[in-house]
Chain A
Amino acid sequence: MDQDLQKTIDLAVSGDEQAFASLISAVQNKAYAMAYRYMGNDADTRDAMQEAFIKMYRYLGTFQGGSSFETWFFRILINTCLDELRKRKHASEQEDIDEHYEIADEREGTEELLLKKERQKAVRDAIKQLPEDARNIIILRELQGLSYEELADVLDIEPGTVKSRLNRAKQKLKSILMEQSTLFCV
């Protein structure tokens, strides 16, 4: 593990606020983008991140450097997001207001753009309906661009199985889209 990182972690574990703040800063932007893919709106994303940072601090002393710090934290974050979604499942429907997705390329024709946006929204909705393992792999690989190695590390799965899992996840996604959206029908 990087000596500076180890020193920062040690300081944070011993109660140094500035050190802990720098650990948060190092991961927060990427973490926001990742958590938003799960939570679907800004408020829930921030709540999930706050919760994940609390867990990060509690378990910081157990970080051994077997994986990168970022990967270690993303595992915590993903589990936190999934926990939060499970809790809310029975309470109320998740609200996805898409406020923080950047606007698609304006150069495309209006009709084409609208269709694309509708289809992308349908894909996002379908991703939410995927089983957790399939959802994880689609979000992390297809939307967050993690490499196969990173994916295997974050999800704690065999690197050799990533590709086949990804294919299976895409097939499930396709089935949902074909069943539920006329935008993808024959």
Chain B
Amino acid sequence: MENDRLDNLIDELLEDMPPVQVPTDLSFDAGAIMREAKRREEAEHLERVSVAPLNAKKRSWKKWVAIAAAFAVVAGGLYFGVGAPGQTDPGTHIAETIDDGQIPLAGPDDPATPAQPENPGEPQTQEPEEEDPQVLAQLFLSAYADEAFVKELTDGDRGYGYIVTGHKDVPEGTEFMVYFYESEEERSSYTVDNDKLRYILWKH
């Protein structure tokens, strides 16, 4: 077939290509789409947040990862717990699991994980000043429902997320110690510069 004839044939075929028939039952659930969009936005934001208790310097990187994962699980549970009725709801299970205290925070080799004592009579090695990461995560999520608090976090975010290292009660409410990561490297290695910790107040 000559080149010009082939060009013409392709043009004709393209021109005569049958149109797509739009199905008559085509419809989309606007409400479900909006909910999913909001869920993703929230999840993406929370993904960039991690929470860790005090005494960060003493912790191995494994522990930081485990704590961040625990926070993500708690966050997922909180969201899914209020999901639409009837939807597949893995988060509800997660939330229930948390309530049962079954979420492993770190592997058995991690000394920071409070293990069940084999002999309850023996004294336990503890770090009493440490915060329970689950408690901190839950508290942070409660604060996260407050728009003014979220705005402060959003304003402080330099594009790499942040990590919450602890909290203290103050007369006006609760102050969270937050470090805003300054690079992707810091974020991926959970590196915190203690000199740059900021105190974000949740008034309640």
Contacts A29-B26, A32-B26; is A123 near B13 (CB within 8 Å)? yes
Take A20-B33, A184-B1 as given contacts and tell me if A101 and B18 are in contact as well, using a CB distance cutoff of 8 Å: yes
Please give the number of chain B residues whose Cβ is less than 8 angstroms from any Cβ of chain A in the complex.
28
Q: Is A165 an interface residue (CB 8 A)?
A: no
Q: Mark A72-86, 1 if CB is under 8 A from B, else 0.
A: 000000000000000
Asked if A101 contacts B26 (CB within 8 A), the reply is no
User: Is the beta-carbon distance between B21 and A101 smaller than 8 angstroms?
Assistant: yes
Tell me the complex Cα distance, A161–B11, Å. Answer: 20
Known: A142-B14, A174-B6. A102 touches B19 (CB 8 A): yes
Query: Cβ of B7 and Cβ of A53 under 8 Å apart?
Result: no
CB atoms of A174 and B41 under 8 A apart = no
Chain A: residues with Cβ within 8 Å of the partner, total of 42
| Contact of A54 with B10 at beta-carbon distance under 8 Å, contacts A32-B22, A101-B20, A102-B18 already known | no
- Chain A residues whose CB sits within 8 angstroms of the CB of B17 once the complex forms: 101, 120, 123-124, 142-143
Contact residues of B: prevailing secondary structure: helix
Contact A138 to B13, CB < 8 A, known contacts A36-B20, A186-B1: no
> Chain A's nearest CB lies how many Å from the CB of B150?
16
Query: Are A138 and B1 also in contact (CB < 8 A) when A101-B21, A174-B7 are?
Result: no
State how many angstroms separate the Cβ of B11 from the closest Cβ of chain A: 8
Q: Counting CB contacts under 8 A, is A104 at the interface?
A: yes
Contact string against A for B residues 24-47, beta-carbon threshold 8 Å, 1 for contact and 0 otherwise: 001010110110110011000000
- Sample (6) of A-B pairs whose CB atoms are under 8 Å apart: A24-B28, A24-B33, A28-B26, A37-B20, A104-B18, A124-B17
